[in-house]
Amino acid sequence: MDVNTIEASKDTFEAEFLHIFNVASGAQPIMLFHPTLSRLKFLLPRPLLLAVDANIAQLLKLGQFAVDCIKNYHRNKNEKGHAKFDHPVIFDSLEDRTDAHKGSIAAEFLVAGSDTSALTITYALYYITANPTIREKLMKELLEVMPTADTNPTLNQLEQLPYLTGVVKECLRMACPVPGRLPRIVPNDKPLIVDGKVVPPGTLVGMSAYNMHFSESLWGPDVNEFNPDRWLGASGRGLDHWLAPFSKGSRACIGQNLATAEIYMAVACLFRRFNFSLPPGAKLGDKCDHFTVFLSQPGLPLSCKPKLK
């Protein structure tokens, strides 16, 4: 299955499929603050629903794409019941689930891990390209495991590179794809003590990852600067406690290992295989917080040329 995000727009990346994610993000405030209205909408007949809310049509397209993924999987199964691909497919482990359940999981994979990881990689493209010193340090380290541009490193190899690891963590800190408060309820078994104050069981609490990621008391006076070096050495190891792009604890993002792996691979392969440049005065677009973050247009103007070796 292919969503044709490149072919859909020859001059930009404004493909319809990507627009759906912005629509989904923009619907979050209504879902959170008017849950009854959201439920009532979906009780309406589909034609009336589409007339009431044009954005619903975009979301339904995403759901249909997930259903099409299931159909494509069934068409390509071999005699052993597994898809005829040269790599594992998530649906292979979901054979005991209904197609509706599989479709929901497919939609979750598409939505939950797309814009957030893409935003983090966009931050990497901008800050590394804008800073020649950072780019040179990164390239020197990447050459150790990618001596040629077509070398395919393993994830384990990349995770052993200290500077690349610092770059990935700093991108996650600066991008902060889910910046707002995530509601949690204090358990009934014992009170929560915060800064010497008792928060009773049953209390709804929340913490903004953005506030924590940009606290000068935690990160120092250069908190607003992209500085991968802060993660190196003994002092850097202590900073992991304050890094929470995926939240923490039992309700942390279930896909954080996959997302981190994607960022490692994308940053390493993009900068080892392409030369990037920014036009004069180029800046990242403004952050728009719709539960997840997306950048205002034009996003990030960037030029790239493939490396010959």
Tokens representing residue 162 in the block: 């200290």
Q: Is 200 left (phi over 0), alpha (psi -120 to 50) or beta?
A: beta
What is the largest distance, in Å, between two alpha-carbon atoms of the chain? 63
Residue among 305, 302, 307, 269 nearest 13 (CA): 302
Place of tokens 């150790």: 144
Residue 253 annotated as binding?
yes
Within a 10 A sphere around the Cβ of 162, how many other Cβ atoms? Answer: 15
Tokens encoding 131: 């800073």
Among the listed residues 170, 119, 169, 167, the one whose alpha carbon sits nearest the alpha carbon of residue 291: 119
Cα of 49 vs its chain's centroid, Å: 30
Q: Give the phi and the psi of residue 87 in degrees, each rounded to 5.
A: -150, 160
Instruction: Give the annotated binding-site residues.
Output: 253
Instruction: Give the annotated binding-site residues for heme.
Output: 253
